[in-house]
Structure 1
Amino acid sequence: MRSLYLFLILLLSGITRAQTTDNGAYVFCYFKGNSADGLHLAYSTDGLKWQALKNDSSFLRPAVAKDRLMRDPCIIRGADGLFHMVWTVSWADKGIGYASSKDLITWSEQQFVPVMAKEEGARNSWAPEITYDAKSKQYMIYWATTIKGRFPAPDSTAEAGYNHRIYYTLTKDFKTYSDVKLLYEPGFNIIDATILPYGKKYLMFFKDETLKPVQKNIKIAYADKLTGPYKQDGGKITGDYWAEGPTALQKGKEWIVYFDKYRNHKYGAVSSSDLKTWTDISDQIQLPSGIRHGTIFKVTTAELERLKAVK
């Protein structure tokens, strides 16, 4: 028995070392069209050139909420080794979708999480994302919601009265969730937040949704704790076009932020080594045709090979 126990310990430690030393690849999860066909995946080994998996067909079709959509998918690898995904289920619903997977191929039963059910004036729950807090050993799920009359603004009637702020809930098991709280209130309309650890701080990329005077660009905010408070640092990092849905990856000292140039019907990217000076590298990237808002995460070489084998 003792020999078997020692063997298992050595085996598991070997797997852990392999995962940490395996450079693996990046995977981009995204949607296409109106998102009714569900989850799409593409991979890259350099973070610039991306190739669609499964002939750019769906890995998972949406099965929850009235509209059965799977927009804005966000996937992270959890502390439990599982891939956890959340997504937008509808244009006008008070909840989001959730599912998990061991391999990104076979998924758990989809759940509808009614995050804004207690807010009578909540109009939507858009672009949810997940970030893991290693200190508290819990996940923070956050998204954009407009609550009628909550944050009046001069331009709040310009786009069907939407005036979003970022809200969050905490969970350790994706079964029970904390009460929803306000995460970021910068004083203007904001959507599409994505948060990553940055040293001892947390880094948020977000879309300034202000229409008058027009912004529609990507900005940065920082916080000492995952749950905030967040404070904007600097101006926009994108150019003179409308951008949304930022997702970021870090290669050594270089940060690359991808975003949807949705009015131009194509993707763009900027890079920086100091998070202060940004260079447009949109002409260096290649992505599957029709790709829309999603997120980037890492997989091992073995995981990528299994994904590439799916037809």
Structure 2
Amino acid sequence: MNKQQLMASGNPAYLMAYFRSGPKQTDMTRKLHYAFSRDGLHWYELNDNKAVWATPVGGGIIRDPFINKGPDGFYHLVHTMHSSPDSRYKGKQIGYARSKDLISFTDAKALTVMGNFPETVNSWAPEWNWDEETGRYMIHWSSTLNSSKPDNNRIYKAYTHDWNELTPAELLFDPGYSVIDSNITHHEDSYYLFFKDESVRPMRNRYATSGSLGGGYAGITAAITPGVTEGAEMLNIPGRQAWLLYYDYWADGVYGVMESADMLHWSEELPAADCRFPYQRRHATFFHVTEEELIKLIYHYSLIKRLGNNEGEGCIIDDPVMQEAFSLRTVSMWMKADEVQGTQMLYVEGDADAGFAVRIENGRLQAAAAGRGAPPVMVSAAFTDTASWHHVAVVFTEGSLELYLDGELRDSARGGFARIDEHHVPGGLGRRIAQDAFGGQGNGATFEGLLDHVEIFNTSLQAEDVSYLFRWGIVE
């Protein structure tokens, strides 16, 4: 998808696919996970950072996932898989699956990419690019030959039209030393092959360039990322008119980011405070999705409760969803007020020690989040209309609180806590049960009006997401 197509499709939307592990590959969860972003720097996990899909092949192992959309309209996933014990395939296969919507995957299978090299030890970190010149997919990965362990890798390639028949593997890139984690990015008239140089200590990433996708890579640069980094991946950000380079400090469980406008001049590593990544993300891939695709993914994986008119107004909601601890939370609702004076609770979960609440208070729309041991954080906006329905969204993100009214950010604030602990009291819709995050006391404070489509998400919707919900209404 080019820049013009991206801009025409709506707001920018990006997806990150990854597997999980702690530092030095401890505590691994080798399945597919997702996070989303609207700016390429702040990534918010979907599905509460749990796996979204596990392959039925290769021992169920997904490492180093790479996903992109092909010209056939499918998203094609390739990944490192568990090596088959069968000597005919051991070390020679990668995993594959495809999807139309990034939710349901089909055609999961092992692709024997190194079948013509019987002495292959491993096939790692596959990726693919569409070759415009030949009208084929070019898959590339790292393999070691003639060794007892995968310690002398080179980059190989194979082509396919249909993800069934593959051409025999060929050498794509051999700089004379061990290299892994190839990523090929096209910019202007050149192809840039990023790779991890395993010949130096500490290991780090470099790149080479070519005028052709399929070979001729030369002009190897000096190291462009810090030591102990791997898994270099690129993402074009039209709004920044820049490329972002992501890389994995695999031993420390940290991600780094640099940016460049021309692929030649690189910034210093961006401050960690300017970026956010999910916990334990490893060897990720980053790609564009449409705004509509992203919203469907958010609803599928992170909508944890929907409350409507069938619950009635002023009701108690005794549901574990409204009692769990969280650091990311969005509550979205449509409401029509008949009165704007007094105290009227729209949404309540928890209490003054650990809670989250939205109310109308004497001509103002307000929200509060309470964390143990710190004053509550509050946001507020003028609200006096009793004639129309309005969309309200409140977003809690690790201590920050944002209040949106009819798709626009009206107020934001930051508190002295990053997490709201478990709160073992029933929640309330359109009323207070006993206590609320504002510090209000007593059963009552009933809302005078109507509520509909109250939705709770276990992630932090961004401004573009909230605007989408207001502009386009309910997502089923």
| Both proteins in one fold, TM over 0.5 | yes
Q: 2:157 aligns with which of 142, 150, 168?
A: 168
Q: Identical aligned pairs, as a percentage?
A: 34
- Give the partner amino acid of 1:70: I
Deviation of 1:282 (Å): 4.5
| C-alpha distance 161-200 of structure 1, shift in aligned 2 (>3 A) | closer
AA partner of residue 228 (structure 1):
G
1:205 lines up with 2:194 in the alignment:
yes
**Residues 1:228 and 2:215 aligned together:** yes
Normalised to the residue count of structure 1, the TM-score between the two structures is 0.86
Instruction: Give 2:236's aligned amino acid.
Output: Q
Q: Does the 8 A contact of 2:79 with 2:125 survive in 1?
A: yes
Alignment-mate amino acid for residue 202 of structure 1: Y
1:28 match: 16
Alignment of 1:16-165 (within 5 A): 20-33=8-21, 38-65=31-58, 67-90=59-82, 93-148=91-146, 160=149, 162-165=151-154
Where does 1:185-200 land on structure 2 (aligned, <5 Å)? Answer: 185-200=174-189
> Is contact 1:35–1:70 with CA below 8 Å preserved after alignment?
no
Q: Which has the larger radius of gyration?
A: 2
Hey, what's the Cα distance between the residues in 2 that align with 1:228 and 1:35?
A: 35
Residue 233 of structure 2 is matched in structure 1 by: 247
> Which whole-Å CA distance do the structure 1 matches of 2:299 and 2:49 have between them?
13
AA matched with 1:258:
Y
C-alpha distance in structure 2 between counterparts of 1:255 and 1:25, whole Å: 15
Secondary structure of residue in 2 paired with 1:294? strand
Secondary structure of 1:307's partner?
helix
Instruction: Quote the residue 1:8 is aligned against.
Output: none
Question: For residues 258-273 of structure 1, what are the structure 2 equivalents within 5 Å?
Answer: 258-273=246-261
Give the match's secondary structure for 1:292. strand
Q: Which has the higher contact order (CA 8 A, sep 6+)?
A: 1
Distance in 1, matches of 2:145 and 2:271, equals 35
Structure 1 residues without counterparts, runs of 5 or longer? 1-15, 150-156
Deviations 1:168-192 (A, max 9, x none): 1011111111111000001111000
Is the aligned partner of 1:306 residue 2:292? no
| Alignment-derived partner of residue 297 in structure 1 | 287
Q: How far, CA to CA, are the matches of 1:207 and 1:18 in structure 2? A: 30
CA contact (8 A) 2:14 2:36 kept: yes
Match of 1:310, SS?
helix
- Quote the offset at 1:22 in angstroms: 2.7
The answer on whether the counterparts of 1:42 and 1:50 sit within 8 Å (CA) in structure 2 is yes
Q: 1:200–1:19: structure 2 CA closer, same or farther, 3 Å change rule?
A: same
**Partners of 2:280 and 2:94 in 1: CA distance:** 23
Structure 1 pair 122/112, CA: closer, same or farther in 2 (3 Å)?
same
1:157-178 Cα deviation digits (max 9, x unpaired): 9xx5610000010111111111
User: Partners of 1:192 and 1:18 in 2: how far apart?
Assistant: 27
How much has 1:18 moved relative to structure 2? 8.3
Post-superposition Cα deviations, 1:38-74, rounded to whole Å, max 9, x if no partner, equal 1101011000000011221222112112x33100000
**What's the TM-score once normalised by structure 2's chain length?**
0.57
1:189, 1:87 → 2: CA distance? Answer: 20
Contact between 1:261 and 1:268, CA under 8 Å: does it hold in 2?
yes
In the alignment, the residues of structure 1 paired with residue 261 and residue 29 of structure 2 have an alpha-carbon distance, to the nearest angstrom, of: 38
Compare 271-280 and 108-117 and name the one that shifted more: 271-280
Letter in 2 for 1:105: I
Please say if residues 24 and 304 of structure 1, whose CA atoms lie closer than 8 Å, have aligned partners that are also in contact: no
Name the CA distance, whole Å, in 2 between partners of 1:182 and 1:17: 34
Q: Counterparts of 2:269 and 2:7 in 1: how far apart (Å)?
A: 32
Which secondary structure state, in structure 1, belongs to the residue aligned with residue 31 of structure 2? coil
Amino acid at match of 1:222: T
Match in the other structure for 1:11: none
- Does 2:240 align with 1:256? no
The one-letter code matched in structure 2 to 1:243 is T
Deviation at residue 23 of structure 1 after TM alignment: 3.8
Which letter does structure 2 place at the counterpart of 1:110? Answer: A
CA distance in 1, matches of 2:63, 2:150: 21
Q: Which runs of 5+ in 2 are unaligned?
A: 22-26, 84-89, 302-476
Relative to structure 1, the CA distance from residue 37 to residue 280 in structure 2 (aligned partners, 3 Å threshold; closer, same or farther) is closer
- Give the paired residue count: 283
- Deviation, structure 1 residue 297: 0.6
Deviations 1:124-152 (A, max 9, x none): 00000011112322111100000016xxx
* Structure 1 residue 233: Cα displacement: 3.5
Displacement of 1:104 after TM fit? 0.3
| Cα distance change of structure 1 residues 251 and 17 upon mapping to structure 2, 3 Å threshold | closer
Q: 1:193·1:207 contact (CA, 8 Å) conserved in 2?
A: yes
Distance 1:276 1:105 in 2: 37
Q: Return the letter of the residue paired with 1:273.
A: A
